[in-house]
Amino acid sequence: MSNSTIKTPCVGLCSTVYGDLVCRGCKRFHHEVIQWNGYDEEAKRAVWLRLEQLLVQVMAGKLEVFDPQKLRWQLEQRKIRFVPHQSEYCWAYQLIARGARVISNLEAYGMVLLPEFRDWALPELRDAIDREFFILSEAHYQRYIAPAFLNDALAD
């Protein structure tokens, strides 16, 4: 699976059309969703990198990937799309997002839940991960993006 098969972080659940400043699906900012096709490769890489860093932060607090090769092999076998050059923790998210209801043994996928999450059902954990990823994206937006928009509006 090459990175060229995934050209956008979009997951098909866009909430920016309903007025959200951060998409609940892909976690991009509203202006990034709107302007994505006009971005050059450097701008797209910057967005991908921010999303990866936030997701890795969330995932590393919930599980450990102890065998990235096994995880990659499982993703390929199950034809689950992932970005090969991203962290294995992003791969783990793709697996859990797509297979939370059918996975019974995470160790078979090269990962294990951290002790405080071992009693959680995977669908519940998937939803918690998604919420935390969204909250971090919103916080990033409020801290770094919203003030610039306010300053621009006040300058007009």
pTM: 0.88
Q: CA 138 to CA 155: how far, in whole Å?
A: 24
Q: How high does pLDDT run on average in the chain?
A: 90
Rounded mean pLDDT, 97-126: 96
Instruction: Identify any residues that bridge with 29 across adjacent strands, giving them in sequence order.
Output: 22
pLDDT above 70 (res 151): no
pLDDT above 50 (res 1): no
pLDDT above 60 (res 52): yes
Rounded mean pLDDT, 104-130: 97
Higher pLDDT: 29 or 153? It is 29
Pure H helices in 61-112: 68-77, 88-99
Using DSSP's 3-state secondary structure scheme, residue 22 falls into strand
Q: Which stretch of 22-36, 56-70, 114-128 has the lowest confidence by average pLDDT? A: 22-36
